[in-house]
Amino acid sequence: MTERAEQLAARAVAEPTPAGVLIPFYRDSTGALRLILIERTLHGRHGGQIALPGGKWEPTDPTMRDTAVRETCEELGLTPDDCDVLRELTPVRTRSTGFVVWPFVARLRAVPAQWRPQEREVAAVLDVRVDELADPSAAGEEEMDFPAWKIRQRVPVRRIAGHTVWGLTLRILEPVLPRALAGEYQI
């Protein structure tokens, strides 16, 4: 790990950055449960990763729910009226980048015919079937490098549509996917 990476890691432990994300579900025309994920652009601490839409808290956000909705709308080109927040989940800390993230289960009221992602932050919008993402055959492990890690590590992953979901996004989704498929949330 470089000296700069060590400094950032030490600061991140002491001063976590608050962030909010939505877990935006909807049902398609066949009734299949679907989830919207994003692929982040290459810049930033989480560049190139598959993520839940959302981002950092801003002083103008009254609550972390407001942060999650604002950031999701900015990243996906939606309006706050396009989604219903159904449940707040327990905040989760990243393990190496210094964020504490408030996840919120949400239902999209409608899905646009064409997504209008924020080009600076979102490389692609991924619309995935929840049953395919939750399928045991999608689960695996992969050896990865990450700037804040001293050595390569084997991490749990889920593979969907040629993409790899891992890290905080996977830790948030793992307990939520089976609950969503079981009908716990009104989607």
CATH number at residue 161: 3.90.79.10
Give the rounded percent of residues in the chain with a pLDDT score beyond 90: 74
Does 186 reside within a domain? no
From the CB of residue 110, how many other CB atoms can be counted at a distance below 10 Å?
10
Does 120 reside within a domain? yes
Does 165 reside within a domain? yes
From the CB of residue 59, how many other CB atoms can be counted at a distance below 10 Å?
5
The tally of domains found in the chain comes to 1
pLDDT at 87 over 50: yes
pLDDT range class, residue 46, cuts 50, 70, 90: low
CA distance from start to end of the chain: 44
Of 10-14, 40-44, 94-98, 158-162, give the range with the top mean pLDDT.
158-162
Q: What is the pTM of this model?
A: 0.88
For residue 28, count CB atoms less than 10 angstroms from its CB and return exposed for 0-12, middle for 13-18, buried for 19 or more.
exposed
* Range of the structural domain that residue 148 is part of: 3-181
